[in-house]
Each structure stands twice: as structure tokens, then as C-alpha cells.
Amino acid sequence: MVPSTKERPLPCWDRIGAKAPSPISALLCLTLLEWTCRPGSQVTPGPGLACLPGNTGLGMCFSFQSSITVLGFYFSRHRALANALASVGVSLGITLWPLLSRYLLENLGWRGTFLIFGGVLLHCCVCGAILRPVATSTAPETKEGPPPPSKTSAPGCLAACGAAIQRHLAFDILRHNAGYRVFTLGVMWMILGFPLPHVFLVPYATRHGVDEHKAALLISIIGFSNIFLRPVAGLLAGRRDFAGHRKYLFSLAALLNGLTNLVCAASADFRVLVVYCLVYSVSMSGIGALLFQVLMDIVPMDRFSSALGLFTILESISILTSPPLAGLLLDTTNNFSYVFYMSSFFLISAALFMGGSFCVLQKKERQGRPAEAEGAVTEVASERGLTVEDPRGSEKQLYTEITYVTSV
């Protein structure tokens, strides 16, 4: 796996680099965690604990954004496998989180649990420090004198802010790149249903008589299966045969994920739920391994960090909206099956939308290629028709053809 040095990152990467955001993120995560875990600190259940996930989420945002972006610049040939291996850590966390959090809460309380998790997050400083800086192919800047004063008036603050937001949040890519627009809207719609099984699977199982420890084990089964399935999905997606069809594989994984939730809504028996978790892990591994790889295929790498920023902002809006909507549906119907039906609806409709839209865009692209080739051939033919052979040599020279109109 050879790091790619052809692409040029954004100017902010030239100044900041890839090492700075990860230690900053770990310190942000640890600051409020350590403050809330002091024995003498008084934290109210409302505002105090509300600041805790906000501060932790800000730190995780720095770490996640920088790691995904620098991973895209590191690898050019085996990018799909690299993304899959990087996402294995998420699967490991899903495996250990339910069991470890329950054990820590029962023995240490919530303050001790937060202190342990803060220590784990502090290791992001070490991971960020060993990241290799991204190589750039830019020429050294030449020192020039101050630019001459412009006669035109300088743009206002509002216009400058608008231009900066449009540049760094990739609104221009959202407007002009149809593939990025389809993928972003499809993932936003898909995320409205994708996290619901992780939130409601354990309460759904306990509601139907499954023991709490067995119910927590269901989430661990999903995470443990993803540890092995995500690298396999990355290997398959990295093959040359599937290089141009990764977006269709992602749509197929979302479709399978939605259909799997229908099985979970049909029965709440523990053995059925175990089979559901295994099948669900297959589709979840495909989504996790291909999510950012498809984005790298659609967007040029020199604008990937900006496109990823806008993509994650819109995705976070869906993540923030999905659980309250499902909770409102559950309070209205008092039936967990409708929550899984809701999840299936969003996933299946998003998969059909993305698959159909990508097919239409690919068909238009294929129809546009013959037209461009025909225009190029016509231009070459007209150029050949205007050449005459020089009598003094074998070289051909262009001449200007003038047509006179003598009558109408």
C-alpha cells in the first residue's frame, strides 16, 4: 500500500496537518469528563450532563474528520481495504461497549465509568502523534511585494464569509456534482432508519421476556461479526471487477439491511434475534466498509475534506432526528414492530433511490461520450479538409477558405 502523493490537500492541511486535530480532540473529550468525575464537583442532571456529550462530541468530530481525510490521502490502490480495516475499530467498540459499560456502572458508578472512558479517549493523542504528515506536490511560495491597491471596492464581510463557507463546506460540489448530490441525499434519508436497531433492539428484546444480559449480548454479536466481515467486504470492494460498481454494492447493502429489519419485527424469540443479528451484520459491514469509499470515488481527492465536512453535517442532522421520531412513534403506538417497519422503510427507499439515480446518471454519461467523440472527429475532419500540400515540400499547410455570396 503506497501512499498517494499526486493529490493536493486543502490549504488548511498545509498549515495544520493531520497530527493536530487528533490530540486536540482527545483533550476536549477528557477535559469535561475529568471535571465531572471529581468527587467534589456538583453536576446538575440537566445542563451539566448536557455539556458532557457536547464537549465529547466536539472532540470526536476533530478526531474522526482528520483520520478519515488523511486515510484517503495515504492510500490510492487499496483504499477500500484501508477504509474497511479502519472501521474495524468501530466494530470492536460495539462488541465491548454493552458488556463493559454495564460492568463499570454496576461497580464504579457513572463518575468512575466516565473517568475510564476519558482515559481510553486520551489515547487518541498517541494515535494522532504517530500519523505521518500528508505529502504535497506544491511548489515553494515565492516572496513578492505587496499587491497594488485595487480600484474596485473590497467585498463585504458577509460576501467573504459566504465565499469561505461555500469553499470549505463544498456547497459548489453539492450544486454541480450530481453523483455527490444523489449520494448525500440518499445517505441522509438512509440514516433516518439505520441507527434505530442499535437503539431499540435491547428494549425490544427485554419487552418480550429476554433476559437483560442476553439482550445486551445481541449488540455484542453484531459488533463481533463485523470485526471479521468488514475486512472481507473491503477485499471484495477493492477488486478491479467491482471498482466501477461500488456505489451499487452500497445500495444493495442498504437494501439488504432494510429487508433484514422486517425479520426482526416478525418475531422476538431470542434464537430468531441471534439469526437476525448475524444477517444484519453482513449488510452493516458492507455499509460501513463502503460508505466513505464511495464518497472518495465520487469526489476528487483535492476537495474530499470539504465534501466530507458537508456530508457529515447533513448526516448528523439525520442522526439527531431519527431516534426522537422513532420514540414518538413508539409512544403513539406502544408497539416496537412499527419502529422496525419505519427503519425498513427508510433503508429500502434510500437504496432504491440511490441505485436508480446512479443508473440514470451512468446512462447519461454513456450517451454523452459518443457525442463528444463525434464532435472531436468532426473537428479533425474539418481541419484535414483545410490543408493543402506545399509544392516545395511534403509538408501540409493550413489555408483560409473564403466563400463569396454573389446572389441571394
Q: What are the pLDDT digits (tens) for 262-282?
A: 988 888 888 999 999 999 999
Q: Report which residue type is found at 74.
A: Y
Task: Report, as an integer, the average pLDDT of 69-96.
Answer: 75
User: Are the CB atoms for 54 and 69 separated by under 8 Å?
Assistant: no
Reported as a pLDDT band with limits 50, 70 and 90, residue 7 is very low
Lowest mean pLDDT segment, chosen from 3-12, 165-174, 175-184, 302-311: 3-12
User: Are the CB atoms for 273 and 221 separated by under 8 Å?
Assistant: no
Residue 61 has pLDDT above 80, yes or no: no
N-to-C CA span, the chain: 70
List all residues 6 or more positions away from 338 whose beta carbon is below 8 Å from its beta carbon: 329, 330
Question: Which of 37, 62, 212, 185 minimizes the C-alpha distance to 112?
Answer: 37
| pLDDT value, residue 15 | 47
| pLDDT value, residue 57 | 63
Question: Which of 339, 310, 307 minimizes the C-alpha distance to 323?
Answer: 339
User: Are the CB atoms for 268 and 231 separated by under 8 Å?
Assistant: no
Reported as a pLDDT band with limits 50, 70 and 90, residue 367 is confident
Q: Is 396 or 310 the better-scoring residue by pLDDT? A: 310
Task: Report, as an integer, the average pLDDT of 240-245.
Answer: 81
Reported as a pLDDT band with limits 50, 70 and 90, residue 344 is very high
Residue 27 has pLDDT above 60, yes or no: no
Highest mean pLDDT, choosing among 55-69, 117-131, 165-179, 388-402? 165-179
Contacts 24+ apart (CB under 8 A), 100-107: 102/213, 102/216
| pLDDT value, residue 312 | 86
| pLDDT value, residue 373 | 58
How confident is the prediction for the chain on average, in pLDDT? 74
Which residues in 343-399 belong to E strands, given as ranges?
387-389, 396-398
Cα-to-chain-centroid distance, residue 49: 28
| pLDDT value, residue 184 | 93
| Percent of the chain whose predicted confidence (pLDDT) is above 90 | 20
Reported as a pLDDT band with limits 50, 70 and 90, residue 376 is low
The Cα–Cα gap between 118 and 115 comes to: 5
| pLDDT value, residue 9 | 40
Highest mean pLDDT, choosing among 33-37, 230-234, 382-386? 230-234
Task: Report, as an integer, the average pLDDT of 195-209.
Answer: 89
User: Are the CB atoms for 125 and 137 separated by under 8 Å?
Assistant: no
| pLDDT value, residue 217 | 86
Question: Which of 228, 245, 241, 219 minimizes the C-alpha distance to 285?
Answer: 228
pTM score of the predicted model? 0.69
**Tally of CB atoms within 10 A around 129:** 11
The Cα–Cα gap between 220 and 95 comes to: 4
Query: Would you give the DSSP letter of residue 244?
Result: G
Place of cell 473517568: 115
Largest CA distance in the chain: 103
Q: Is 300 or 47 the better-scoring residue by pLDDT? A: 300
The Cα–Cα gap between 393 and 387 comes to: 14
User: Are the CB atoms for 103 and 37 separated by under 8 Å?
Assistant: no
Task: Report, as an integer, the average pLDDT of 339-350.
Answer: 94
User: Are the CB atoms for 37 and 113 separated by under 8 Å?
Assistant: no
Lowest mean pLDDT segment, chosen from 97-101, 105-109, 303-307: 97-101
Measured CA distances, 80 to 2, 288, 293 (Å): 14, 11, 6
Question: Which of 277, 274, 265, 258 minimizes the C-alpha distance to 210?
Answer: 274
| pLDDT value, residue 238 | 79
Residue 354 has pLDDT above 90, yes or no: yes
| pLDDT value, residue 122 | 78
